[in-house]
Amino acid sequence: MNIEIRWHGRGGQGAKTAALLLADVCFKTGAYVQGFPEYGPERMGAPITAYNRISDNEIRVHSNIYEPDLVMVVDETLLASVDVTAGLKSSGAIVVNTDKSPEEIRPMLKGYGGKVYTVDARRISVEALGKYFPNSPMLAAAVAVSSVMDKDAFIKEMRSSYAHKFAKKPEVIEGNMKALTMTLETLEEQL
Amino acid sequence: MSKKDRMSGNEAVAYAIRQVNPDVMPAFPITPSTEIPQMVSTYIANGEMDTEFIPVESEHSSMSATVGAEAAGARSMTATSSCGLAFMWEELLVAASNRLPLVLALVNRTLSGPININCDHSDSMGARDTGWIQIYAENNQEAYDNFIQAFPIAEDTRVHLPVMVCQDGFITSHAVENILLEEDADVRDFVGEYHPEEFLLNPGKPVAIGPYAISAYSMEAKYNQEQAMIRSKEVIMEVAARFREKFGRGFDLFEQYRTEDAEFIMLIMGSAAGCAKEAADRLRDKGIKAGVLKLRVFRPFPAEEIAKALENCKAVAIMDRCESYNGHGGPLSSEVRAALFENRVMTEAVSYIYGLAGRDFTVDTAVSIFEEIAEVAGGQKKAVQNRYVGLRTRKEQ
C-alpha cells in the first residue's frame, strides 16, 4: 500500500484536522503515515491544502503531493477557483462535499476521467451533530474511497480516538460516530 | 522499551522537554515554534513536569532570562524561530561566550523579507558564527533524538557551550509522522542530573559571570571558546555513540547514504534529505552511482570528515537552503568548498540554492540535480555555481 491524498478546504473548515485524523487512524492499523498542512496566508476562509501519505513502508519524502491517488474537496466553492484535479491520477478518485450528484459535479472537473464521488457532508453533519462540521464525514469518505483500512476497524478506532479527543465534551462523541456511519452508508450506493 | 507513536515534530520536541524536565524555560511564541512552549505549558498545568515556565514579553527577554537562569545554576532552555532568533542575537553571543550550556529548540523559518512563515535555514545560518553548536534534523524522530542528546553535549565539562537543535518549520514541525519514543526513566537516565561546577547561586564558591574583560584577557577567552568548539566534536560523537547503544538509532556528524562507491553525492541538511535519498535510489536503479551525505552537525563544522567522505566521488552537489547575499553562494557551499581545497580533494563541487521561504523541494528536482552534476563531471556541461533550483520563470508567475 502506498497512497497519496490531497485535501482542499478553506481555513477553519477542518481539512487539516481531517488529514491529521486520517494519519492517526491509519497509524493505529500499523501503517506508516504522514499528515501535514500547507499554509498560505493564515486566515479564515482562505484556500488551504493538506496532505496524507499512507504506506506499508517508511516514508522519507517531505514534499507536497503533485500526483495524488485521491483528492478530497471539503468546500464545493473551491471548484471554481482551485485546480483541484491537477495531477490527480486517472486511476484515482475525487470526493466532493456537495448536495449534487457525481454526474452533476463531473462537468466542473476540467475533463477529469477518473472516479467522482459526492458526499453531502452538510446534511449529514447537521443531522448527526446539529452543527456543520464537515471533517468527520469527509474523513469517513476518504477511508471508504481509498480503502486504506477496513471499515469496521475504522469505526472501532474512531470511537477510541473521539473518546480521547473529546474527553472534555463527551456529548459530541455519539454525533460524530453517527456522522461517520451515515457517510459510509451513503457512499455504499456510489462505490 | 521504545514505544511506537505518531506525532508532529513540535509535539516530539515538547514530549522530549517533558521527559528531560529542565529547571527553567522562558519563552515567547512565534510561528512555527509556538506549539512547543504551548504544549510545555499544558504539561506543566497538568502536573506532568515541574519546569519553571517564564512567559516573557520578547525573544530578547526569553534568551536573557535563559542566560540568567543557566548562570544561576539551573538547567535552562527556550524555543524560537526566525525573527525571534534574530531578536536574541546579542544574547546568543552572551550565552556562548559565558560558556553557558543552555539549549534552544529552533524551528527553522525564513527571515524577512518578504515576510513569510515557511521554512528555510536563514535564521540559524545567520547565527552560525555566534558560538553555538548547531544540530539539524531530517524528521520528527531526529528532532526528538537530537534534543535529548543536546544537554549531555552542552553540559560536558570539555564543551560548556549552548546547543541549537534545529528542525524544519512546518515540513517537520507540523507534519504528523511515525516516531519511536523512549521511556521517561530511560531519557532521564541518559540525560542525567545537572551538577554545574560553578554557578551564581553558590554562596560557598562565589563567581562572577559576564564581567568586563580588558584586552589583556579578552583574546584568551575567545581562544578558549574556540578550543571548546573544537573539542565538542568528539563529545558529540561520544554522546551519539552512547545514544545508539542505548536506543539503537542515530548518526555522528553526518549520515552517509549509499556513498561507499558513489560517484555523485548530494550534500544536504534537514528534511530535504529524504527526497535526496529517494532520488539516489531511483538513479541507482538506472545504474547511476548516486549517494547522499546528510549533514547533522553544522557547528562545529566537520571540514576534514566531509572532505574525506567526498574524496572518491566525481562530483558533489552542495545544497544551501539559505542565501548569503555575498555574491558567492550560501554558507554550506562556502565552507564545504574551503574544506575540499584545504584537504586537496579536487572533486567537482557545484553549489545550489533551494527551498527558500518554503519553496518545495521534490524528488524530481533532486534527480535533475544529480543528472546535472554527472554531466559536469563528464565534461558535457560547464558548472553553473549557486543556481536557484525550483525558481519560477516570469511566464510561470
Query: What are B364-376's pLDDT values in tens digits?
Result: 999 999 999 999 9
Q: pLDDT, tens digit, for every residue of B51-97?
A: 999 999 999 999 999 999 999 999 999 999 999 999 999 999 999 99
Mean pLDDT (chain B, rounded): 97
Q: What is the pLDDT of residue A40?
A: 72
Pairing of strands A32-38, A47-55: antiparallel
Cα-only R_g, chain A: 15
Q: pLDDT, tens digit, for every residue of B256-287?
A: 999 999 999 999 999 999 999 999 999 999 99
Nearest CA in chain B to A24: B6
H or E stretch covering A52 = strand A47-55
* Residue B216 to residue A14: CA distance in whole angstroms: 62
Query: For residue B396, is pLDDT > 80?
Result: no
Pairing of strands B3-7, B176-181: antiparallel
Q: What is the pLDDT of residue A12?
A: 85
**Banded model confidence at residue B213, pLDDT cuts 50, 70, 90:** very high
Q: Which residues of chain A make contact with B168, given a CB cutoff of 8 A?
A: 62
Helices of type H across chain A: 15-27, 102-105, 121-129, 135-146, 151-165, 173-188
Q: Choose the CATH number for B254-388 among 3.40.50.720, 3.40.50.150, 3.40.50.920, 1.10.150.20.
A: 3.40.50.920
H or E stretch covering A36 = strand A32-38
Q: What is the mean pLDDT of residues B213-221?
A: 96
- Start-to-end Cα distance in chain B: 51
Q: What is the pLDDT of residue A42?
A: 66
In DSSP terms, A50 is beta-bridged to A7, A37
Residue B286: count other Cβ atoms within 10 Å of its Cβ: 9
Q: What is the pLDDT of residue A13?
A: 86
What are the structural domain ranges in chain B?
3-247, 254-388
H or E stretch covering B202 = none
A27 in contact with B, Cβ within 8 Å? yes
What residue ranges define each of the domains in chain A, with the CATH number in brackets?
A: 2-188 (3.40.920.10)
At residue B267, the 3 state secondary structure works out as strand
Cβ contact B278–A61 (<8 Å) = yes
Q: Which residues of chain A make contact with B177, given a CB cutoff of 8 A?
A: 23, 32-34, 59
Provide the residue type at B91 as one letter. E
User: Taking a C-beta distance cutoff of 8 angstroms, is the pair B330, B352 a contact?
Assistant: no
- The cell for A31 is 501503517
For chain A, list residues with pLDDT below 70. Answer: 41-42
DSSP assignment of B319-384, as one string? EESS---SSS--HHHHHHHHHHHHTT---EEEEEE--GGG----HHHHHHHHHHHHHHHTTSS---
- Start-to-end Cα distance in chain A: 20
* Residue B140 to residue B314: CA distance in whole angstroms: 33
Q: Choose the CATH number for B3-247 among 3.30.56.10, 3.20.20.140, 3.40.50.2300, 3.40.50.970.
A: 3.40.50.970
* Residue A165 to residue B218: CA distance in whole angstroms: 56
Query: For residue B35, is pLDDT > 90?
Result: yes
Cβ contact B178–A61 (<8 Å) = no
* Residue B1 to residue B168: CA distance in whole angstroms: 28
B117 in contact with A, Cβ within 8 Å? yes
Whose CA is closest to B254, among B270, B243, B242? B270
Q: What is the mean pLDDT of residues B166-183?
A: 98
Q: pLDDT, tens digit, for every residue of B282-306?
A: 999 999 999 999 999 999 999 999 9
Q: pLDDT, tens digit, for every residue of B99-118?
A: 999 999 999 999 998 999 99
Whose CA is closest to A69, among A48, A55, A79, A82? A55
Of all residues in chain B, the percent with pLDDT exceeding 70 is 100
DSSP assignment of A118-147, as one string? EE-HHHHHHHHHSS--THHHHHHHHHHHH-
Q: Which residues of chain B make contact with A36, given a CB cutoff of 8 A?
A: 170-171, 174-176
Q: pLDDT, tens digit, for every residue of B125-172?
A: 999 999 999 999 999 999 999 999 999 999 999 999 999 999 999 999
Interface of A with B in 159-188 (CB under 8 A): none
Give the HSE-up count for residue B388: Cα atoms under 13 Å, Cβ half-sphere. 13
Q: What is the pLDDT of residue A191?
A: 85
Of all residues in chain B, the percent with pLDDT exceeding 90 is 98
Q: What is the pLDDT of residue A161?
A: 87
Helices of type H across chain B: 9-20, 35-45, 59-72, 82-87, 89-97, 122-126, 140-155, 184-191, 215-247, 273-285, 303-310, 331-342, 363-377
Q: Give the contacts of B263 (CB within 8 A, at least 6 positions apart).
A: B288, B289, B290, B313, B314, B315, B374, B377
Q: What is the pLDDT of residue B56?
A: 98
At residue B13, the 3 state secondary structure works out as helix
What does the buried/exposed string (b/e) look like for A125-140 if buried means 16 or more CB atoms within 10 Å of the residue's CB? beebbeeebbbbbbbb
A11 in contact with B, Cβ within 8 Å? no
Backbone angles phi, psi at B265, to 5 degrees: -125, 135
Q: What is the pLDDT of residue A39?
A: 78
